[in-house]
Structure formats: C-alpha cells, structure tokens
C-alpha cells in the first residue's frame, strides 16, 4: 500500500514560514475550529498516513490487548490534534511568553522540584518523553531556571532548525546531539546549569540496548553517563495539553544514580528506573505520546530489510 508522510509534505521551510505568519494573526478560538476541521480531514487518509500508522504500530507494542485497532487509531488521531494545538501555541505566543504562561499550570510537586533545582546551585538533568506538551514544559523551565541547554536530534532538517530558532527565542539553548554538545553540557553541569533531553526516541548507534515495555530498544543513555560523571540528579518533567490549549506540567525526582562495576551495568541498571517512569507516563496518557518513529530493535530490522528489498527491486526494474 502507498504511504504518504503528510507531516513531512507540510513540514518544509516555506510552508512553515507561512504557517508561522498565520498563527500570529488568528485567535486561539479560530485556531481550534481550524484544527478540528483538519483532524477530520486527516482521519480520511489514515490508511495511507505513514506517521499515523507508525504511531499506531508503536501503541500496539505497548497495548497489545487493552485497545482494539479502531481505538488505537482514535488515540493516534487525538494525539495528532493535540500536537497541532501545541504547535499552534508554540508559534502563536513566540512574542508573548507571558500570555502563554497563563495557560500553563505547574503542579505543586513540579513547582517544588523547580524551586529545589533553582536554589541548589548545582547542576541537574531534565528528561522528558516525547509528549505533545514537551516544548511548552521546556519553555516554562527556561523562565524559572537559567542556563538550560537542550540536547536535540543530530543533523536537524531545515524545518526543525526553524523550530529550534523559535525555541531559542523562548530562552532555550539548543544544541543538536554531538560530541561538542556533550562537552558543552558537561560545562553547563559543572557551572550549576541544566541539561535537558528527550529519552524515548531510538538511537540505533547506542551500544547498550534497554528494555522498553519488555522489548529491546536502543534508547539514548548519554544523560546517564553525564549524571554519573558529574554527580547530578535527574528530574523528569512531562507536559499535558487539552484541546483548549491548557497545559499541565508534572514532575518527578530527584533521581540519584548508582555506581556499578562496569559501564554497561551502570547504563542498563540506572536506566531501568527512568524507563519505568516513562512507561508509566505513556500508559497513563497514551494520547499525549507523539512518538511516530520506529522505536524497537526489531522495527529497525524490518526497516533495514524493506530498504534492501526496495533497492533490489529498483535495480531490477
């Protein structure tokens, strides 16, 4: 079956600039109406929507029996709507952070953790699963904690570079993953700053596989090594959004890592508690989880086989 990457088709620099201009002019109420219409239009193409199919595939790995295929497609559809709502707010409030913050509710526990970090004068690492409200959480953190470095995906495309520019306008320092980024993070931690990153996007180059929902997955672990080397705690923050653009920021921590005889044990054993927190958050809020990329080791093997098959068929034709 032919698959279409709808988001990638729309997600080019020119259209994003147009989208940014539009979000500056339309009201949140109007945006909500437009996004509801777009949700209905998108649902008509679910059978060829590559990102939705991948998200549903990921959800099937997590919920093999709890939901029907139809229910999982509904969760995925809700996720894309909430993601669109969060993107609208991300663009719309670029020049009015105070207005955006009026829509963010920081739970008492999360606020207590933020205060603890801000007053400690020591480095910390903030992690988050890829929830639709992750950017908004990072923006709120940047208003309360100075010197935050976000380690993002390596080699970002032009469209992602535009988003990174907007993130920096909100007060975040964005560094695509690289050895230089890790060295910069080390300096930040030693100076009492914060390093922040997502933790549930596959990193196939990772040496030590994790167990994610009971299956091998190559999730990033560099933050584990940073926390151990510089003896800093890890905090998890998640951002939940509703259809009206109201955000709730939740937090957990501090998590202090343990020393083990070998690097592999340190990475694998220490990641278990953090992965368990991530799994609990996703199970509680599946519609907030916007991971529409291959995630588990066997999914990458399927992608590799399909890629080789396509290349072979192309040569034969």
DSSP 137-183: HHHHHHHHSSSEEEEE-SS--HHHHHHHHHHHHTT-EEEESSHHHHH
Quick one: how far is CA 188 from the chain centroid? 22
Phi, psi of 12 (to 5 degrees): -120, 160
How do beta strands 210-212 and 215-217 pair? antiparallel
pLDDT at 2 over 50: no
Alpha-helix runs per DSSP H in the chain: 6-10, 13-25, 28-43, 50-62, 69-92, 97-101, 108-120, 134-144, 158-169, 179-190, 222-230, 263-284, 297-316
Q: pLDDT grade, residue 233 (50/70/90)?
A: very high
Mean pLDDT score of the chain: 84
Asked whether residue 127 carries a pLDDT value surpassing 90, the answer given is yes
Predicted pLDDT of residue 4: 46
**Considering the chain, what percentage of its residues have pLDDT values greater than 70?**
85
Which of 114-128, 198-212, 302-316 bottoms out in mean pLDDT, i.e. has the lowest? 302-316
Q: State the average pLDDT over residues 195-200.
A: 91
Q: What is the pLDDT of residue 256?
A: 94
Angle at CA of residue 143, ends 137 and 148, nearest 5°: 75
User: What mean pLDDT is predicted for residues 124-134?
Assistant: 93
User: In Å, what is the CA distance from 55 to each residue of 39, 62, 181, 266?
Assistant: 16, 11, 29, 31
Q: Is 289 helix (H, G, I), strand (E, B) or coil?
A: strand
pLDDT tens sequence across 12-66? 555 666 666 777 778 888 888 888 887 887 777 666 677 888 899 999 999 999 9
What is the reported pTM?
0.84
């Amino acid at each position: 079956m032919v698959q279409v990457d709808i988001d990638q088709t729309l997600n080019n620099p020119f259209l994003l600039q147009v989208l940014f201009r539009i979000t500056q002019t339309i009201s949140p109420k109007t945006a909500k109406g437009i996004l509801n219409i777009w949700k209905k239009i998108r649902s008509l193409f679910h059978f060829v929507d590559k990102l939705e199919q991948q998200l549903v595939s990921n959800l099937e790995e997590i919920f093999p029996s709890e939901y029907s295929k139809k229910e999982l497609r509904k969760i995925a559809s809700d996720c894309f709507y909430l993601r669109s709502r969060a993107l609208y707010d991300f663009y719309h409030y670029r020049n009015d952070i105070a207005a955006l913050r009026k829509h963010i509710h920081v739970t008492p526990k999360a606020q207590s953790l933020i205060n603890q970090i801000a007053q400690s004068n020591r480095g910390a690492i903030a992690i988050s699963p890829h929830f639709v409200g992750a950017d908004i959480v990072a923006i709120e953190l940047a208003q309360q904690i100075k010197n935050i470095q976000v380690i993002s995906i390596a080699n970002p495309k032009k469209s992602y570079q535009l988003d990174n520019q907007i993130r920096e306008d909100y007060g975040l320092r964005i560094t695509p993953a690289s050895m230089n980024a890790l060295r910069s993070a080390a300096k930040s931690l030693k100076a009492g700053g914060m390093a922040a990153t997502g933790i549930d996007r596959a990193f196939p180059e990772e040496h030590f596989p994790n167990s994610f929902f009971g299956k091998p997955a190559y999730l990033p672990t560099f933050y584990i090594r940073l926390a151990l080397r510089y003896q800093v705690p890890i905090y998890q923050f998640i951002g939940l959004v509703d259809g009206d653009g109201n955000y709730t920021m939740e937090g957990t921590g501090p998590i202090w890592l343990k020393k083990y005889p070998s690097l592999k044990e340190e990475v694998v054993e220490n990641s278990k508690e953090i992965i368990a927190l991530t799994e609990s958050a996703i199970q509680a809020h599946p519609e907030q989880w916007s991971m529409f990329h291959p995630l588990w080791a066997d999914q990458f093997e399927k992608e590799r086989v399909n890629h080789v098959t396509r290349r072979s068929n192309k040569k034969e034709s």
